């Protein structure tokens, strides 16, 4: 299952843990496909994307969640893979 599909199916803590493991495997197998493949750049992108999260949900015609859930955390991690 692709990372995009996997993140959309997160509904529990276990799903989230599995997704994190999939991200790690993706980084190990395809580091060149990661815009932010160091911890420093990944965390920087994670913070930036989280600041801009309203735009993500607006583009999807969805309301920004008041409280993040496991799926939202997964979306943040996935976005940090490539967000500049």
| Alpha helix (H) residue ranges in 1-67 | 3-8, 13-29, 39-51, 53-59
Report how far residue 13's alpha carbon sits from residue 27's, in angstroms, rounded to the nearest whole number: 21
pLDDT of residue 84: 86
pLDDT tens-digit map of 52-64: 999 999 999 999 9
The pLDDT, as a whole number, for residue 20 is: 98
Question: What pLDDT shows up at residue 74?
Answer: 97
For the chain, list residues with pLDDT below 70.
none
Mean pLDDT of the chain: 96
């Amino acid at each position: 299952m692709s990372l995009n599909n996997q993140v959309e199916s997160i509904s529990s803590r276990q799903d989230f843990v599995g997704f994190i493991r999939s991200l790690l495997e993706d980084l190990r197998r395809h580091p060149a496909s990661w815009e932010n493949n160091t911890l420093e750049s990944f965390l920087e992108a994670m913070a930036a994307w989280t600041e801009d999260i309203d735009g993500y949900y607006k583009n999807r015609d969805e309301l920004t969640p008041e409280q993040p859930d496991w799926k939202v955390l997964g979306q943040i991690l996935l976005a940090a893979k490539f967000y500049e």
